[in-house]
Amino acid sequence: MPRHLLTGEELSRDDLYGLLDRALELKAAPRSSDALRDSVVALVFEKPSTRTRLSFEAGVVELGGHPMILRSGEMQLSRGESVKDTARILSRHVQAVGVRTGPDAVLEELAAEGTIPVFNMLTAGHHPCQALADLLTLRETFGRLEGLKLAYVGDGNNVARSLAILGATAGVEVAVAAPAGYQLEPVAGAVLTGDPAEAVAGAHAVYADVWVSMGDEETAGERRAALGPYRIDDALLDRAAPDAIALHCLPAHPGEEITAEVLYGERQRIWDQAENRRHAQKALLEWLVADRQNGY
């Protein structure tokens, strides 16, 4: 049976720490692995992308593989072909498929009907590849994960959910501060609050995401009004641990969810975080596709 990464819950603690160890090795020597030599990895984009496309496409090439970019309008899925049939066709031509889409059910059906690894490049419910890069950034910054605290401030969305799931696996306390109507549903191990100051107290990292995500444009004004008190600025960072860093999955809107002073200042690791998408995902691709010669 192929391995999949749909939500992050597929990873055990040992799996997760193994992936992060391998990501650090690959970051130190980006061209050291040809694990995807003679492999084709399909990357299906039904939603716009900058960091996800850049990091996956470059990462597949660095591992010796060929990234096949597929956009929704170029596939028969857009004309009514079933996910089931698409899964069967993909399985005959490529060694793995990543999908950036809306419904989680699309990935679940691809995984159930195909015979190749399926990985989540973003859905409405989850963004596990982003969380892998975030944990890698914390590991680089603090030298550990166990016992750290991460405070997510803003809309309790797919990014917050993935941080809560994988943070619990890693031993990171995750606190999510969001207003009523925007809070994450209970996730084991996560602390939920409506108070940003309470969430960031003692936190090693304070995390923001956009207030208006793809698909939320019709309620943009309402969302900005509700989320206004959840902006990351220097005053909020001052309530965290003395060495706290700011994180953001990008794209950012300076003056909304984060101030320009924090986004471009010395108290953040946001640009390292963006680069770490590639390294963490390369380790993931090895885990999903390659021979298990490294003991995964």
Residue 82 within any structural domain of the chain = yes
User: Is there a catalytic annotation at residue 249?
Assistant: yes
Question: Does 105 reside within a domain?
Answer: yes
Report the alpha-carbon distance of residue 226 to residue 230 in Å, rounded: 9
Annotated catalytic residue 277: yes
Claim to verify: residue 242 and residue 169 sit in the same structural domain: yes
Give the pLDDT confidence of 30-50 residue by residue, as tens digits: 999 999 999 999 999 999 999
The number of domains in the chain is: 2
Q: Which amino acid is at 187?
A: V
Residue of 101, 107, 208 whose CA lies nearest to 153 = 208
On whether both 281 and 221 belong to a single domain, the answer is no
163 and 250 share one domain:
yes
Q: Which of 127, 139, 204, 223 is catalytic?
A: 127
Residue 8 lies in a domain: no
**Cβ atoms within 10 Å, residue 255:** 11
Catalytic annotation, pick one of 4, 231, 277, 279: 277
As a whole number of angstroms, the distance between CA 63 and CA 55 comes to: 12
In angstroms, the CA 176 to CA 161 distance is 9
Residues 107 and 167 in one domain: no
**265 torsion bin: left (phi>0), alpha (psi -120 to 50), beta (else):** beta
Residue 243 in domain: yes
Q: What is the pLDDT of residue 105?
A: 97
Is residue 4 included in any domain, yes or no?
no
Catalytic residue of the set 249, 268, 269, 273: 249
List Cβ neighbours of 89 (8 Å cut-off, separation of 6 or more). Answer: none
Q: Are residues 35 and 110 located together in one domain of the fold?
A: yes
Catalytic residue among 3, 4, 51, 100: 100
Whether residue 193 is found in the same domain as residue 160: yes
Q: Could you list the residue range(s) of the whole structural domain that residue 282 is in?
A: 13-127+275-289
SS3 6: coil
The most distant pair of C-alpha atoms in the chain lies apart, rounded to whole Å, by 54
Looking at the structure, do residues 134 and 206 belong to the same domain, yes or no?
A: yes
**Per-residue exposure over 25-50, b if at least 16 CB sit within 10 Å of its own CB, e if not:** ebbeeeeebebbeebbbbbbbbbebe
**Is 53 a known active-site residue?**
no
Catalytic residue among 209, 231, 268, 279: 209
Quick check: is 249 in a domain?
yes
Beta carbons of 190 and 174 less than 8 angstroms apart: yes
Q: What is the pLDDT along the chain (296 residues), one digit of tens a residue?
A: 899 999 999 999 999 999 999 999 999 999 999 999 999 999 999 999 999 999 999 999 999 999 999 997 888 877 789 999 999 999 999 999 999 999 999 999 999 999 999 999 999 999 999 999 999 999 999 999 999 999 999 999 999 999 999 999 999 999 999 999 999 999 999 999 999 999 999 999 999 999 988 777 878 899 999 999 999 999 999 999 999 999 999 999 999 999 999 999 999 999 999 999 999 999 999 999 974 334 33
Please name which of 132, 148, 146 lies closest in space to residue 243, comparing C-alpha atoms.
148
If asked whether residues 119 and 80 sit together in one domain, one would say yes
Q: Per the domain annotation, does 165 fall within a domain?
A: yes
Are both 150 and 103 inside the same structural domain? no
pLDDT in tens, 209-234: 999 887 778 788 999 999 999 999 99
**127 tagged catalytic:** yes
Catalytic residue among 95, 130, 273, 281: 130
The verdict on whether 104 is a catalytic residue reads: no
CATH for 285:
3.40.50.1370
Give a yes or no: residue 85 inside a domain: yes
Q: What is the C-alpha to C-alpha distance for residues 108 and 258, in angstroms, rounded to an integer?
A: 34
Indicate whether 246 and 144 sit together in one domain: yes
